[in-house]
Amino acid sequence: MRVTVELKPEHRSRLLAMAARRGEKGFSSVLREALNAYLDAQTEWEHRRKKALALQGCLKASEAKKLRERAAALRKDWR
């Protein structure tokens, strides 16, 4: 199916360069691969999110408190 997509000039240039390195004239296949990777990642993210939500209420209050404290300590040390 053909669609019209607006791209930034720098994105178009990079896509054309990637396609050229593969010996292709246009960047349709590069764009298809990128779109597939994005959609697969979103599907995986949603799957992990649902698994995490299914765990809601599985910890005792004391375990949940310890987990929150450990997560807060880790976040504090980021960067």
> In the predicted model, what is the mean pLDDT of the chain?
94
Domain ranges of the chain: 9-77
pLDDT in tens, 20-42: 999 999 999 999 999 999 999 99
Cα separation values, 17 from 7, 29, 38, Å: 15, 13, 20
Record the pTM: 0.65
Q: Which 3 state secondary structure label does DSSP give 39?
A: helix
- Which amino acid is residue 20, in one-letter code? A
Q: What percent of the chain has pLDDT above 70?
A: 100
Residue 57's pLDDT band, with cuts at 50, 70 and 90, is confident
